Chain A
Amino acid sequence: MKTLPLPSLLAISFALSPAAGAADQATKDLAAGLAAKHGDALVTVEATLEIQPKILEAPEALKGQIQGIPKTEQKTSSQGVVIDPSGIVAVPLAAINPAVVMAAGIEQATPLGPIKIGADSKFLSVTVIDAEGGEHEAEVALQDQGTGLALVKLSEPPAGVWGAVALPAEAGAPAPFGQLVQIGRLGAIFERSITVRTSRFVQELRVPGLFYELAGTASAPGFAAFDSSSNFLGLGVLPLGLPPQEIASAGVVLLPASRIAPLAEKVGAAK
């Protein structure tokens, strides 16, 4: 197990809310404990992908005119969480592959009728940056629009055993309005320091599939959430199963750990 270097601990930022200033000592201790325990499971995933927009539907008169839209190369970056010591990282799919938001197609009006534009995407390279800034070549082992999850696997096993959050075999929903702690890692410009926030569980969302709605400070997807007993609850994701125009308004939700576990097994994570 790698140890969290001192500078990272010092750089930990707290955003305890609601009423951050009024957070009790127990919450502060919990947050600091989680950051210390899981800090080296918080990583950054950088990807380069090729995005090829495509016409899914178009009026016949337009089809011949819009055969090709130039493909583009895009670089993405997201925080992620190591969920297996062999180096499997759970990361929000939308954050590393923005083209999936268009997968179902976005309709646009034209004088000749509506066209629906989608996009194909291919990952060209993926890099996992560990807690100490070390770079590791990786590949996207699985991507699933239903859960909004991507699982990234190191191309070569890590030299040591990586710290990983444990996926619970069985997990129920937290108590309504129960307190949660989110931990994540900021980008390179913020020296990849750990960020800690508190929030509250609001309710289960059943459609499409099970997600948890959270209240409290907003955060970029890719954070890990824990309950007050330090159990891993899930990963912040965008619910890609919604119609495209509703994804943004739905905001970041929590993908329960119970939905991550079977997908992790599929790519070789230890049970």
Chain B
Amino acid sequence: MKAPTALIFATLLAASGSPAGAREADTAGAAIDRVKAKILPALVRIEVLMEDGKGGRMVKSRGFGSGAIITPQGHVLTNHHVAGRGTRFRCTLATREEIPAKLVGTDVLSDLCVIQLDLAARRDPEAPVPVAEFGDSSTLKVGDQVFALGSPAALSQSVTLGIVANTAMIAPKLMGGGFMLDGERVGELVRWIGHDAVIFGGNSGGPLVDSEGLIIGINEVGIGSLGGAIPGDLAQAVARELIESGSVTRGWIGLEIQPLLRAMKDRSGALVASVFPGSPADRAGVRPGDFIHSFGGEAIPDSRSPEDLPVFNALVLNSKPGTSVELAGERDGEPMRWAVDVIARSPTRGFEREYVRWGITARELTPMSAIEMKRPDDRGVQVHTLRAGGPAAQAKPPLRPNDIITAIGGEEIGSLADLEAFNASLPEEMDEPRATLVEFERGLAREKLVTLVKVGSEPRPQDPLTADRGWLGASFQVVGSDLAAALGLETKNGVRITRLATGGPAAEAGLREGDVITKLDGRVLPVKRPEDLRIFTESLAARQPGTEVTLEVARGSGTLTVVAGLLARPQDEDDAAEWEDPHFEFTARDLTQATRDAARLPADLQAVRVVKVVPNGWASLAGLRGGDLILSIDGHGIADATELERVLKTLKKERSERTVFFVQRGARHAFYEVEPSWPQR
């Protein structure tokens, strides 16, 4: 643990009696007080509900992170990876008050994001907002004292102490040169402030502050015992632009550089690795293998290691779209100059949505993603994930991830808006799917395929009959030889009746709980281990209802023979009527007699039993669990699956913002608020 070590270190210096040490200790103590006073009140714990395309659905997940309030209007600066993909936000202030927030803007490349607190939702909406201030991260030196603030592991707001370990830390080649975040290579732009103030998952987005309590970084990564923070100067500039315009405009010229090769000892600047066809750099004549010495008059340092590359990248990314920039360099020893038009850089990954009636999640193509896919333009819609058994997955041939849908029913699909326009043309309620001709392209070769997708409804699961099966009306446990001996039975094995169904054949035949059945129709039961019970129950089930079985039974010290007439096995819970709701994201079934018996539920209890809750689905997020009994929804009693379906469909039609489920769980009752969002069709 670094923070305690650092504190101990400071304490030891103070104890040594050294005047310098005493000053250090005093400074540290005073700094901690300043930090506490200046930044703790502005520290925010952020709970985020995120959605990611997975299995043809936008799958929800819950995350936590940290942030700091940076404007009196309640803007909170945090990481993109904390909040950038969020759809709902709950923020806990230093006062422990919890209020909602909304997304203002996010920037994947710098991993920064701004959300805005709903200040009016505070208990005292007029109360002043504590605001954190920025310091100057460009003057930081290795060894400077820094403090990390945040909510490690989503715990309460905390402060840890450390020093700056590195002012330009990047992930080395061994670690892949960084990590990918929503299609962007983090590290292309940012060189982190490395520090050893303890941070943990949940600290992400929290401020790194200097001893004056000013923000000089935003914590982003933990690498071993070191933390990495985005420099405060960059963070402040990005935050300002996000607040002003909701996004960050960046320049792009269409070339990538790499460090100079080891053999290039007499070369300088940066080595051009890639020039994308048709890009501004390509049009200006830049070629792979060229060397760049300056960009818009700014000298490029000799790029001999990956740490040097963000300098050039930052110059390009910060250049203004619509302007022309002169690059100077050399080719084959000859000086070169290129006039390059800067254009706006698009995100590498487009916006994603789910389309329930198709069983897919799909993404918008962006100019950058089109370049990655070697497509001539960004027309089309990219299939990202498919739901197993869904219409698109069932098409022949099925759609696959990364297929590009180019036309539906002969109409061009250029964007998600076109797909949504087609969906809007479908009726609200569809009893039958609509067979729809889909044209799509696959792979870098852009193979042009067609398929027929039955849009609108899933294939109706088949509902096979089951065989009539004999039923004795009792529950059993296997009695092996050890247990038989302990029970004082003469037999070596059998099955013991553990529960009799009221009015069942076993009870009617006079069998009792505790009886041990040793023979079935004259044959010794071949059961020894608990799992052998199935042999006995299946032997009964294999007999037709209406037939009689002769059972030899040990009761106390005696034995008796019992003849019982089998009945047809009552409905299993698996066969009970059920409703799987795709919007509230759970499945519930009618209560069967077997369920009532097993849970000792009264015969007149009207409810449905939850049998499946989609992980992180709306019902799950509200707290519903498998096994819960739903008694009512928004005050409507739910007697069976049919009623459940009717009520939930009504709520869907009304696009209800919040629905209250009254639920019985074991011996307890509770109310749960389910707050679904209503997806695209």
* A63 nearest CB across to chain B (Å): 7
What string of 1s and 0s marks CB contacts (under 8 Å) between A25-64 and chain B? 0000000000000000000000010101011000000011
Q: Which candidate, B205-213, B526-534, B559-567, is the interface stretch facing chain A?
A: B526-534
Which residues of the other chain, B, contact A63 by a CB distance below 8 angstroms? 625-627
Q: Which residue of A lies closest to B534 (CB)?
A: A243
Given A123-B464, A241-B541, A241-B542, residue A67 in contact with residue B535 (CB < 8 A): no
Which residues of the other chain, B, contact A104 by a CB distance below 8 angstroms? 534
Which residues of the other chain, A, contact B544 by a CB distance below 8 angstroms? 262
Alpha-carbon gap, A67 to B462, bound state (A): 25
What string of 1s and 0s marks CB contacts (under 8 Å) between A129-159 and chain B? 0000000000111111111001000000000
Which residues of the other chain, A, contact B462 by a CB distance below 8 angstroms? 122-124, 126, 139-140
Does chain A have a CB within 8 A of B117? no
| Choice from A54, A67, A139, A208 contacting B542 with Cβ under 8 Å | A208
Judge whether B393 and A68 touch: CB under 8 Å: no
Alpha-carbon gap, A71 to B386, bound state (A): 12
A-contacting residues, B440-473, CB 8 Å: 458-459, 461-462, 464-469
* Number of residue pairs A-B, CB distance < 8 angstroms: 107
* A244 nearest CB across to chain B (Å): 8
Alpha-carbon gap, A267 to B523, bound state (A): 33
Given A67-B620, A146-B542, residue A243 in contact with residue B467 (CB < 8 A): no
Judge whether B541 and A52 touch: CB under 8 Å: no
| Choice from B388, B613, B626 contacting A50 with Cβ under 8 Å | B388
Does chain B have a CB within 8 A of A15? no
Alpha-carbon gap, A261 to B464, bound state (A): 17
Which residues of the other chain, B, contact A242 by a CB distance below 8 angstroms? 534-535, 538
Which residues of the other chain, B, contact A142 by a CB distance below 8 angstroms? 464-467
Alpha-carbon gap, A271 to B613, bound state (A): 45
Judge whether B389 and A144 touch: CB under 8 Å: no
Alpha-carbon gap, A68 to B55, bound state (A): 14
| Choice from B538, B612, B627 contacting A208 with Cβ under 8 Å | B538
What interface size band does chain B fall in? 35 or more
Judge whether B574 and A208 touch: CB under 8 Å: no
Which residues of the other chain, B, contact A7 by a CB distance below 8 angstroms? none
| Choice from A126, A208, A267 contacting B465 with Cβ under 8 Å | A267
Does chain B have a CB within 8 A of A207? yes
Which residues of the other chain, B, contact A126 by a CB distance below 8 angstroms? 462
Q: Which residue of A lies closest to B469 (CB)?
A: A146
What string of 1s and 0s marks CB contacts (under 8 Å) between B46-82 and chain A? 0000000001000000000000000000000000000
Which residues of the other chain, B, contact A108 by a CB distance below 8 angstroms? none
Judge whether A147 and B531 touch: CB under 8 Å: no
Which residues of the other chain, B, contact A72 by a CB distance below 8 angstroms? 388
Judge whether B538 and A209 touch: CB under 8 Å: yes
What string of 1s and 0s marks CB contacts (under 8 Å) between B561-583 and chain A? 00000000000001000000000
* B570 nearest CB across to chain A (Å): 16
* B464 nearest CB across to chain A (Å): 4
Judge whether A143 and B466 touch: CB under 8 Å: yes
What string of 1s and 0s marks CB contacts (under 8 Å) between B627-647 and chain A? 100000000000000000000
Alpha-carbon gap, A245 to B535, bound state (A): 12
Alpha-carbon gap, A267 to B464, bound state (A): 10
| B interface: dominant SS | loop
Alpha-carbon gap, A126 to B538, bound state (A): 27
What interface size band does chain A fall in? 35 or more
* A140 nearest CB across to chain B (Å): 4
Does chain B have a CB within 8 A of A176? no
Which residues of the other chain, B, contact A267 by a CB distance below 8 angstroms? 465
Residue in A50, A64, A244 whose Cβ sees the most chain B Cβ within 10 Å: A50
Q: Which residue of B lies closest to A144 (CB)?
A: B467
* A253 nearest CB across to chain B (Å): 13
Alpha-carbon gap, A147 to B541, bound state (A): 10
* B627 nearest CB across to chain A (Å): 8
B-contacting residues, A50-94, CB 8 Å: 50, 52, 54-55, 63-64, 67-68, 70-73
* A69 nearest CB across to chain B (Å): 9
Does chain B have a CB within 8 A of A3? no
What string of 1s and 0s marks CB contacts (under 8 Å) between B256-277 and chain A? 0000000000000000000000
Does chain B have a CB within 8 A of A191? no
Report the 6 A-B pairs with minimum CB-CB distance, sorted nearest first.
A209-B542, A241-B538, A208-B538, A73-B388, A122-B461, A144-B467
Residues of chain A touching chain B, judged by Cβ–Cβ distance below 8 Å, are 48, 50, 52, 54-55, 63-64, 67-68, 70-73, 104, 120, 122-126, 139-147, 150, 206-210, 241-245, 262-263, 266-267
A sample of 17 more A-B contacts (CB under 8 A), given A67-B625, A207-B535, is A50-B388, A68-B614, A68-B620, A73-B388, A120-B574, A124-B459, A126-B462, A139-B464, A142-B467, A143-B464, A146-B541, A208-B542, A209-B542, A242-B534, A243-B532, A245-B531, A266-B468
- 28 pairs, CB–CB < 8 Å, chain A vs chain B: A48-B389, A63-B626, A64-B625, A67-B615, A68-B615, A68-B620, A73-B393, A104-B534, A124-B459, A140-B464, A141-B465, A142-B466, A143-B464, A144-B466, A145-B538, A147-B467, A147-B542, A207-B523, A207-B526, A207-B535, A208-B542, A209-B538, A209-B539, A209-B542, A243-B532, A243-B534, A244-B531, A245-B531
